[in-house]
C-alpha cells in the first residue's frame, strides 16, 4: 500500500514550546520540583494534565 494511503502512525512523542510571556513562570523548574515531591516524572505529570484537560474540554463540547 502506498505510504499516503496508510493509516497514520500514532503520535507517541510531543515537544512543547513555552512562550516568552510564560517563561517568567518557571514552568519547567516548577514541574521538576513537584515531580520530585510526588515521586513522578515531568512526563507523567504533563500527560496527566493533558488527559485532565481533554476530559474537561470534551465534556463542554
Rg (CA), the chain: 16
Instruction: Confirm if 41 and 35 have CB atoms less than 8 A apart.
Output: yes
Pairwise CA distance, residues 41 & 6, whole Å: 34
Residue 3 pLDDT grade (very low, low, confident, very high; cuts 50, 70, 90): low
Look at residue 9 and give its three-state secondary structure.
Answer: coil
Q: Tell me the pLDDT band of 33, cut-offs 50, 70 and 90.
A: very high
3-state secondary structure of 19: coil
Among 8-12, 23-27, 54-58, the minimum mean pLDDT is found in 8-12
The ranges assigned to domains in the chain are 20-61
Amino acid at each position: 500500500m502506498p505510504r499516503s494511503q496508510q493509516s497514520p502512525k500514532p503520535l507517541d512523542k510531543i515537544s512543547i514550546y513555552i512562550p516568552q510571556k510564560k517563561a517568567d513562570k518557571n514552568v519547567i523548574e516548577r514541574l521538576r520540583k513537584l515531580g520530585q515531591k510526588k515521586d513522578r516524572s515531568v512526563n507523567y505529570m504533563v500527560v496527566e494534565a493533558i488527559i485532565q484537560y481533554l476530559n474537561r474540554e470534551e465534556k463542554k463540547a
